[in-house]
């Protein structure tokens, strides 16, 4: 739970991340979108959602290809694909969380 809360607080401060649920996590799941810089210029709506829908799958594919991290994504109802981080490994540390955030930013910044 501590890592989920840590992750939530870090993402809330970041410009290119938006939480799917804007409340502190009650469990070990944290759901979020990553917004590449170009998407921040598109007004909220259908066009932006169509582009945002593609971001999580592309970043995950790059992570798998490079072997750097593993995180799931999914859509839910009217919400387009978002990352779903589930903290279940007791060996995970804050440094691992920081690495994941940096890795998402590195892989997604030019999408």
pLDDT at 48: 92
Strand order in the sheet with 72-76: 17-19, 29-34, 79-86, 72-76
pLDDT recorded at residue 24: 76
Was domain 1-109 assigned CATH 3.40.50.10490? no
Report the alpha-carbon distance of residue 38 to residue 36 in Å, rounded.
6
Phi, psi of 59 (to 5 degrees): -65, -45
pTM for the model: 0.88
Mean pLDDT per 10-residue segment, the chain (111 residues): 90 93 81 92 92 94 91 88 88 92 93 90
What does the pLDDT read at residue 50?
Answer: 92
Ramachandran angles phi, psi of 30, nearest 5°: -130, 120
């Amino acid at each position: 739970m501590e890592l989920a809360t840590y992750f939530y607080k870090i993402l809330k401060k970041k410009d290119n991340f938006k939480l799917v649920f804007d409340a502190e996590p009650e469990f070990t799941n944290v759901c979020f979108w990553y917004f590449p810089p170009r998407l921040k210029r598109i007004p909220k709506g259908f066009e932006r959602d169509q582009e945002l829908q593609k971001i999580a799958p592309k970043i995950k594919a790059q992570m798998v290809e490079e072997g750097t991290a593993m995180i799931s994504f999914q859509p839910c109802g009217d919400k387009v694909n978002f990352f779903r981080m589930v903290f279940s490994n007791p060996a995970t540390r804050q440094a691992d969380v920081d690495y994941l955030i940096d890795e998402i930013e590195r892989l997604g910044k030019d999408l």
